[in-house]
Structure 1
Amino acid sequence: MSTQPHVYAADDPETALKYAIQHHGGDRVEIVEGVIQLMCPSWGHETAADQIRNQIAPRVAELGCVSGSGNLDLPGSSNWYIPDVAVVPKALAKDAPSLLPDQTLLVVEVTSDSNGDTDRIVKRRRYAEYGAPLYLLVDRQEKSCTLFTEAGRLGYTKMDGPHPFGTPVHLPEPFDLTLDTSEF
């Protein structure tokens, strides 16, 4: 059986780049400022993300949402992110190949040795610019958590942290719950 390549002509590089990573098959990749990055999280990284998902799961269900690591598009830019955890309304997530950051209730990024500065600087700025209301940065290298709120075009205007691992971190409405960070 022969496989015919799928030919796609795009009018602009952003569309072509985003199409390519969505249809390449295999590994998950994201685009950060025009650079394609392969997603290869360690088990320690995945453990932190899983602990957050488990702690917020009851509230996520009450809110009629789902949590996962689905695609987030940042239209008008060469960015296509796959957050470690995002909470989105179930109705939006059902059939969407991607969502926008302003359609999330919470975005969580857990740093790795290879991408810590990307999560601390680039993604924090972009998530704010694209309206993600809550951005939780779990910094495994610094062993701290920081919650960013009040998104705007120039960044987040409020920051709670950094808090050392082991310090409870409160997620405001619509969550109104406190995360145990002792096992991150």
Structure 2
Amino acid sequence: MTGAPDNGQGIDSERALKSAVRRTCGDRVQIIEGIIQPGAPTWDHEHTARVVRRQIEDRVDELGCVEGSGNLDLPGSSNWYVPDIAVVPEALARGAGALLPDQTLLVVEVTSESNAETDRAVKRRRYAEYRAPLYLLVDRIEGSVTLFSEPGHLGYTRVDGPHPFGAVLRLPDPFGLDLDTSGLASA
């Protein structure tokens, strides 16, 4: 996918808007379907992300990747996401300002009261459209985890879940590990 067309004056208006929003609002700001949303996760939210991060970090290292909450651009749209966790190859992460969802190995979103429907519907659809291979939704409101895989333009074609907190969820290759969600119940 490519950026927005030139406006006739040599300016890519999509890129200019995204850059201005980030400069004005900071690194944790997202643009979701054209709406600017500053991010300020709660400690419970961060705890939940940490439970997932700790279980995948050894495998992430083995794969030569890094995990974090770096920026993901969705060119050709009015979207700029900051996922709770994204796993990307270390070589791509070095010096990158933003990556594309298809450059990730895994994207994890943790719901909050204010963003649950966005994570469940909008981001799921957009991550599939932009070919993020694995999207893990940790739904703190519903107390469940769902893994979406095999992205297509109409959405993910494979869904594993929702599973209640406490279940074990298998993360497929390249991870090949079981995610224990019992630690999420107290989050």
Q: TM-score range by the shorter chain?
A: over 0.9
Q: Deviations over 1:107-163 (max 9, x none)?
A: 000000000000000000000000000000000000000000000111000000000
Helix, strand or coil for the counterpart of 1:23?
Answer: helix
Partner of 1:42: 42
Partner of 1:5: none
Q: Is residue 10–residue 16 contact of structure 1 (8 Å, CA) maintained in 2?
A: no
| 2:30 maps to amino acid | E
TM-score (norm. length: structure 2): 0.91
Q: Which runs of 5+ in 2 are unaligned?
A: 1-8
| 1:81 maps to amino acid | Y
Kindly, what percent of the aligned residue pairs are identical?
67
TM-score (norm. length: structure 1): 0.92
Q: Deviations over 1:78-135 (max 9, x none)?
A: 0000000000000000110000000000000000000000000000000000000000
Measure, in 1, the Cα distance between the counterparts of 2:88 and 2:129: 18
1:22 Cα deviation from its structure 2 partner: 2.5
Aligned Cα root-mean-square deviation (Å): 1.3
1:12 Cα deviation from its structure 2 partner: 4.3
Distance change (3 Å), C-alpha of 1:59 and 1:27 = closer
Q: Which runs of 5+ in 1 are unaligned?
A: 1-8
Partner of 1:93: 93
Equivalent residue pairs, number? 176
Partner of 2:80: 80
1:25 Cα deviation from its structure 2 partner: 5.6
Q: Is residue 25–residue 38 contact of structure 2 (8 Å, CA) maintained in 1?
A: no
Helix, strand or coil for the counterpart of 2:155?
Answer: coil
Q: Deviations over 1:4-61 (max 9, x none)?
A: xxxxx97344222211123226462000000000101111111011111110000000
Partner of 2:17: 17
Q: Point out 4+ residue stretches in structure 1 off by more than 6 angstroms.
A: none
Distance change (3 Å), C-alpha of 1:110 and 1:61 = same
Distance change (3 Å), C-alpha of 1:26 and 1:152 = closer
Distance change (3 Å), C-alpha of 1:27 and 1:105 = closer
Measure, in 1, the Cα distance between the counterparts of 2:175 and 2:107: 13
